[in-house]
Every structure is written in C-alpha cells, then in structure tokens.
Amino acid sequence: MIIKKTMTDEELVKLYESGVNEAFDALLLRHKDKVYASIYMSVRDKDLANDIFQETFIKAISTIKQGRYTEKGKFSSWISRIAHNLIIDQFRTEKNENTISNDEDEELDLLNDIRLYEENVEDTMIREQVYEDVVRLMNYLPDNQKEVLRMRFFEDLSFKEIADATGVSINTALGRMRYAIINLRKLADANDVYPCQEPY
C-alpha cells in the first residue's frame, strides 16, 4: 500500500493496527527528530538518548499492536509522554543506584527492525549535531523561555496547553516564545548555527 504524506497520524496508526507496517515507518519518520531532541535535551548523553529513543518507539509499537492505543489527542503528544515517562524512570533509577547503569542488555535495534533511516550516515550525523547545537544554545535562554520553547517545539503542545501547564496566560506564553526565538537566533548567529524552523 502507498503511504501518502497527507495522511494524518491517526490514519497511519489505524493502518499500522491493520497490519500495514510501512505506516509506522511513516510515523517514525515524521516524529523522530523532535522526540530524539527532547530526550537528548533532558539526559544530555547521546548513548542514553538513543536507548530511550528506541525504547520509546518499541513501547509505542507494542501498545498499538496489542490494540491498547486509545489516545484521543495528538499522536505526537502521546509519544512524547512515553518518552517523558521513560526519562523519569531513568532518573529514578540513577537516583536509586547513584550511578548510570552501563549494563548492556539484549538490545532491540529499532533502526534495523523498522528499516526507516534512509538518510546516509553523513546526513544523520549533521542532523544530530544540529539538534545538539540547538539544545546547547537553549541552555543560555532564561528558564521561562527555554520551557515554552521545549514544550512547543519538542513536545508539540499548543499554546493553550503550555499556558495551562505553566500557569500563565496564552499571551504570556506567546510572548515568551517570541523572545525565545529572537534570543535563540541571536545565539545561533553568534555561534554559526543555522538550525531551525520557527516552532509555530
């Protein structure tokens, strides 16, 4: 079956539930950059971010295949929550063990299983470097600007959802986003990083 770029996330989920594996490939291609960047921004470790990224989509695959996907909102918000919960679990584990576990369990290589990454190695490295640069530059933003940028760009929340989550008005959230973009562009120019589209 031909997967069309105009298909919504929900349409792709239903196709995947019906046995069209390429539908999940399309979902992964659509959301992988933002999910990975959000994870990396939280854990600040490329190997750990890759592990959590893979586990995020493996959990999504398992949930959908078992017919337990009942999300009524956005797929992007759902997949972001899975990643967020895995990050929290990781932090709890680190706190309990007071160290990051280096045990290498039997890995499920999502990149091979789903056969999605069609980009060549150079493209992949460039993309990852750009996101690392963006995350690094975001650390120089004020906390309230960094928060709204992360929630809008990486978690794909609406400004109403951001306003509710941060306890401010929508206009305040929009204002913080505006200043975050202005400041991020200044930082990018100063550091020769030209990464991003506007997260609106």
Fold of 1-117: Rna Polymerase Sigma Factor; Chain: A (1.10.1740)
pLDDT, tens digit only, all 200 positions of the chain: 678 888 999 999 999 988 898 999 999 999 998 888 888 888 888 888 889 999 999 989 988 888 888 876 688 888 988 988 888 888 877 766 544 444 444 343 443 443 444 444 555 555 566 666 677 778 888 888 888 888 887 777 788 888 888 888 988 988 888 888 888 778 877 766 544 444 33
pTM for the whole structure: 0.53
Q: Do domains 1-117 and 119-193 have the same CATH topology?
A: no
pLDDT value for 57: 92
CATH match of 119-193 with 1.10.510.10? no
Domain boundaries, the chain: 1-117, 119-193
Q: Please, what's the b/e burial string for 76-109 (b: 16 or more CB within 10 A of its CB; e: otherwise)?
A: bebbbebbbebbeebeeeeeeeeeeeeeeeeeee
Alpha-carbon gap, residue 75 to 82, rounded angstroms = 11
CA 64 → CA 8, 75, 175, distances in Å?
A: 16, 11, 38
pLDDT on residue 44: 80
